[in-house]
Structure 1
Amino acid sequence: MAQQDEEVIVSPTGWVAEQARVYEESGGTEGHETRGVTCLLLDYRGRRTGQWRRTVLIYGRDGDDYLVVASNGGNDEHPLWYRNLVDEPDVRLRVGTEERFAARAETLSAEEKARVWPGLVGLFAPYADYQAKTDRDIPVVRLSRTGN
């Protein structure tokens, strides 16, 4: 897990980097919500470099777990963060004002995705458009707390 003094590389996408900066610097009091939906900070390990990386993702809930959608805006390729999670599922999250905590990422089965997908589309309607735009089955990832 990323230690407090370990460098974390923030997404190179400008608006993501800015939201991540505001989110982290405010301790989650700002940046937690955008476009009417709640977001979390996801730190994950790069599969080639081993460096910690950070992105901001919209999330849903399933019991105590968090759900994120690897939509990549409906592009035909999985987002890089998702490809990294497949190789290294141990991550760290910040959700709102909670301190960072360890979690484990797991791609949902087709049956589990079918159960939660309507709620995720209800949370962020563009997900349905993204899925319609690509032949790729857009993964849904469960993030389960594993510790502090």
Structure 2
Amino acid sequence: MSESTTPTDSPNKWVADHTRAYLDSGGEEGHLWYGPDGKLAEGVPTLLLTTIGRRSGQPRRTALIYGQDGDDYLIVASKGGAPADPLWYRNLVDNPEVELQVKADTFKATARTATPEEKARLWPKMVEVWPPYTGYQERTDRDIPVVILTRAS
């Protein structure tokens, strides 16, 4: 991941605003997610994920809801139940070396898609964090991936 290139944030204004607040406050304002309407979305924890664009080679950053499994972080490639995977997921499949920011802690990590056996155990954890994931899965024919992020040593 290039340290000299500033990542491009989401083109979605409220996601970009959330990301900017997260960065500017060291995670103090962005770690617990506030929805686009300004209300706390049930205290849902978020992290910042930076991937490398599979076509552009440029860093791309987005804020995502996360859970934890031991020392690993978990994210869900739901895209709200859309028929296609989110672009950030496609990027990390092509290049699993990513950067995370959780609160003020910024670090390198390796991403991988949970196996079916792992997903059977991890999906309920993520639904506990964000119950709408259940509806997202019902809305689409694709199997929504759970991604495991392991801090680089």
Give the conservation status (yes or no) of the 8 Å contact 2:28–2:103: yes
- Tell me the CA shift for residue 2 of structure 1: 3.3
Partner of 1:2: 2
Question: Hey, which bits of structure 1, 4+ residues long, moved more than 6 A?
Answer: none
- Tell me the CA shift for residue 27 of structure 1: 1.0
Tell me the distance in 1 between the aligned counterparts of 2:56 and 2:126.
32
Partner of 1:77: 84
Give the conservation status (yes or no) of the 8 Å contact 1:70–1:141: yes
Tell me the distance in 1 between the aligned counterparts of 2:2 and 2:11.
19
Count of matched residue positions in the alignment of Structure 1 and Structure 2: 145
Give the conservation status (yes or no) of the 8 Å contact 1:90–1:105: yes
User: Over residues 18-49 of structure 1, what are the superposed CA-to-partner deviations in whole Å (9 max), with x where a residue is unaligned?
Assistant: 00000001111111111120000001100000
Q: Which amino acid aligns with 2:130?
A: F
- Tell me the CA shift for residue 7 of structure 1: 1.5
Partner of 1:144: 150
Tell me the distance in 1 between the aligned counterparts of 2:82 and 2:90.
14
Give the conservation status (yes or no) of the 8 Å contact 2:5–2:58: no
Partner of 2:59: 52
Tell me the distance in 2 between the aligned counterparts of 1:37 and 1:92.
20
User: Over residues 41-82 of structure 1, what are the superposed CA-to-partner deviations in whole Å (9 max), with x where a residue is unaligned?
Assistant: 001100000000100000000000000000000010000000
Q: Kindly, what percent of the aligned residue pairs are identical?
A: 56
Tell me the distance in 2 between the aligned counterparts of 1:43 and 1:123.
21
CA spacing shift, 1:123–1:108, aligned 2, 3 Å: same
In structure 2, stretches of 5+ residues that fail to align are: 34-40
Give the conservation status (yes or no) of the 8 Å contact 1:2–1:92: no
Question: TM-score by structure 1 length?
Answer: 0.95
In structure 1, stretches of 5+ residues that fail to align are: none
- Tell me the CA shift for residue 97 of structure 1: 2.0
Q: Which amino acid aligns with 2:86?
A: P
Q: Which amino acid aligns with 1:103?
A: A
Q: Which amino acid aligns with 2:150?
A: S
Tell me the distance in 2 between the aligned counterparts of 1:74 and 1:33.
22
Partner of 2:109: 103
